[in-house]
Chains A and B, each alone.
Chain A
Amino acid sequence: MTAAVLSAAPGRGRRVPQPRVPTLEGLLPTAGSMAVAAVLLAAGALPVLDLELTLAGLLSAVAAGVLARAVPSSSRAARIVAPLAAVAGTALVHAGTGALVTLFLLMPPVVALASGAARAGVLAGVLGSVVATLAPAALSGTPVPGATVLLVPAVAGLTGLVVADLGARARSRAEELDVASRMLSARAQTMTSVIDAVTEQSIIGTDPDGTVRVWNPGAEKMLGVPRAAVVRARSIVDFHVPEELDAAAAEFGTADRLAALVHVAQQNGSDVRDWTYVAADGQQRTVAVAITPRTDDDGAHAGWNFVGTDMTEARATERMKDQFVSLISHELRTPLSSILGYLELVLDDEEGTLSDEQRQFLGTVERNAHRLQRLVGDLLFTAQVEAGRFTLQPGDVDLIGIVRAAEETARVTAAAGGVTLVLDVPEDELVVPGDAVRLGQACDNLVSNAVKFTPSGGTVTLSLRAGWRLPDGTVSDGEVLGAEPVARLAVRDTGVGIPAGEQAELFTRFFRASTARRNAVPGVGLGLTITKAITTAHGGTLDVVSAEGQGTTFTLTLPR
């Protein structure tokens, strides 16, 4: 398996520290201080009352040093026995010389005891220092001042406590560091295994300059290039179509291809769109790429992540579907021309040869032919939207007129279904920039939908208001400085409602809510798709709030 995640940069505390013998726990200070004492003795700077005791003391210290070197540093012998031997050596030297100054030789072994055996070591050090202080009185009958007997063990004990505490803290930090290092290592391992497990999506990580640093098995499969040939050697732009990047660079006003690729992600924090990848065999793949910036531990920009899903087949299928819909719709228009044209000729019965019943039947034919015509128009329109060929005829649109017209259109159907239509519009004009025909179509769709989904006895309310959209997306009825002026049309019904779980799919082509199917409400599921597309093309939003069995409110918000 390919290791997708690169090893961490050196340093940064990710390496587990190697154990070593701490200076305090070793007997180097003891050996050093004993050597100094030996020199002072040889030079006559220290008195020698009993040569045998003095030599025995120095030899004990040497033996302690040898022992400490010979056994493992963590062993009881190294941590306790050797320092105690050094304390014993100090006691003998003290007894042999009778010099109080030799009690300074206690400090290194006392520190070593406290460092190596914590509180027990401190106690041993105190007891040892008592013994060493009293040694001249015990071994050679030389009196020791009482203050010395109290002071030396007290200083030794306090020193030992400080050292033991420092040692405990140091050990605790070392343990924390060890745990943190293990956790980091485990996390990196988890990330590696997760990224390596992704074989159907490409995950590519780069440096800020676009040099590839992460290349997962999905990227290998999609682009046909092994990780080893890419990491640190190739740039992400090498796998894009240059012309596509150049076009994006021209659009965003930059000369740099990488800057063009990450432009939107840099502006918005993330970006998902189709790009064309070029595989090793030259084949082009349409890939939906999610681009996000990556930061390091300090929050500084560290590069880019590109997570890609191969959409080549899906997009080809969508194109085929759109072409099919377009073709069928186109072909349906010609027979519809004949049906509607000849119907018009027959119904234009100047001589009055048609009976009322015949006229009624032909009226039914005409109504259904128009229904078919609307359906063909909707199909063609959605195909244009999907293909990105939908254009607006811009102008100034008075929304009050649009809403009144929609109410008028729906009035007959509403009355027939026992639904009350309520119109609530401002008295002044409310003008937005846009395409009057398309906005009329959007409004008609919302109102006719509301009427269709409201049972007899219900109400559909059309409210039109001026408002101001705040940066957080909420709309205020009162003017707010700096907020975007908008127009808001709310179409509220008391109908069957839309189940909460289906609301996210409402604007998908051909989607029909279960309440629509259950209540046999006619339709093919294109109206809301079209309304949403028109709203989006005008820079607006279309929101829905619905409760099953209580009703639905669609709110169309347009910039003005």
Chain B
Amino acid sequence: MLVADDEDDIRALVGVAVRRAGCVLAASVADGESALASARAELPDLAVLDVSMPGRTGLEVCAALREDPATAGIRVLLLSAGASPDDVARGLAAGADAYLPKPFAVADLVGGIRALSTGQPA
């Protein structure tokens, strides 16, 4: 499981949700470049990416993962402060499997991680 968010507190919160979902955290990073590098190195089942990150945005990382056959199978859950229908549409168009606007309920995030890590739609 990979978590990428430039906010330490959110990263830690997502870490808790990952554990509660019964998954193992492989990497926790704070920017888009590191997220892409970790994803290529670790090949996690699921990447939880913040949309607004320094360097590459979550949308760009998602698109890059989809373009590379080695990482195209990684499931992606996007987190974003953008909650409008347009924001959600942009996230899904970039190849994300699920989109969760901030602020989110931890229970919803846990449910999303469980669903995606077991290969079900969120």
Contact residues of A with B, CB < 8 Å? 330-331, 333-334, 336-342, 344-345, 348, 373, 377, 380, 384, 389, 391, 393
Contact = CB atoms under 8 A, between A and B. Distances in A.
Given A338-B7, A338-B9, A342-B13, A373 B83 contact: no
Contacts of A342: 9, 13
B10 interface: yes
Given A336-B102, A338-B7, A344 B107 contact: yes
A337 B14 CA distance: 11
Nearest to B107: A344
A349 to B, nearest CB: 13
- Give me the 9 closest cross-chain CB pairs, A-B, nearest first: A333-B81, A337-B103, A338-B9, A337-B102, A336-B103, A341-B13, A333-B102, A344-B106, A340-B103
Contacts of B85: 391, 393
A373 B86 contact: no
Given A334-B7, A338-B9, A389-B86, A345 B81 contact: no
Contact of B83 (A334, A348, A380, A389): A380
Nearest to B50: A334
B105 A344 contact: yes
Contacts of B9: 338, 342
Contacts of A330: 81-82
Contacts of B107: 344
A341 B84 CA distance: 21
Given A345-B13, A345-B16, 14 more contacts: A330-B82, A331-B81, A333-B81, A334-B10, A336-B103, A337-B10, A337-B102, A341-B103, A373-B103, A377-B83, A384-B84, A389-B84, A389-B86, A391-B84
B105 to A, nearest CB: 6
Contacts of B105: 340-341, 344
Contact of B106 (A333, A345, A377, A391): A345
13 contacts: A331-B81, A334-B7, A334-B10, A337-B7, A337-B10, A338-B10, A340-B105, A341-B104, A345-B106, A384-B84, A389-B84, A389-B86, A391-B85
A460 B73 CA distance: 55
Nearest to A390: B84
Contacts of B16: 345
B13 A338 contact: yes
Q: Which of B13, B81, B84, B105 has the most CB of A within 10 A?
A: B81
Interface residues of B, number: 18
Nearest to B89: A391
Contacts of A384: 84
A344 B84 CA distance: 24
Contacts of B103: 333, 336-337, 339-341, 373
Nearest to A384: B84
A72 B43 CA distance: 116
Interface in B11-25: 13, 16
A299 B13 CA distance: 73
B50 to A, nearest CB: 9
A337 B10 CA distance: 7
Nearest to B13: A341
B62 to A, nearest CB: 19
- Interface centre among A334, A337, A389, by most chain B C-beta atoms within 10 angstroms, is A337
Nearest to B85: A391
A338 B79 CA distance: 13
A373 B85 CA distance: 18
Contacts of A373: 103
Interface string B70-87: 000000000001111110
Contact of A337 (B82, B84, B86, B104): B104
Contacts of A380: 83-84
Interface string B83-117: 11110000000000000011111110000000000
Contacts of A377: 83
Contact of B86 (A345, A348, A391): A391
Contacts of B106: 341, 344-345, 348
A348 B109 CA distance: 15
Nearest to A340: B103
Contacts of B84: 380, 384, 389, 391
A436 to B, nearest CB: 14
B93 to A, nearest CB: 15
A554 B53 CA distance: 45
Contacts of B13: 337-338, 341-342, 345
Nearest to A373: B103
B25 to A, nearest CB: 16
Specify which of B81, B83, B103 lies most central, judged by the most chain A CB atoms within 10 Å of its CB.
B103
A393 B85 CA distance: 8
Nearest to B17: A341
A455 B60 CA distance: 54
Contacts of B10: 334, 337-338, 341
A340 B106 CA distance: 9
Contacts of A336: 102-103
A289 B96 CA distance: 45
A150 to B, nearest CB: 106
Nearest to A342: B13
A373 B104 CA distance: 11
Nearest to B9: A338
A334 to B, nearest CB: 6
A334 B86 contact: no
B14 to A, nearest CB: 9
A335 to B, nearest CB: 8
A389 B105 CA distance: 26
Nearest to A343: B106
B101 to A, nearest CB: 8
A510 B103 CA distance: 24
Contacts of A339: 103
Contacts of A391: 84-86
B114 to A, nearest CB: 16
Contacts of A333: 81, 83, 101-103
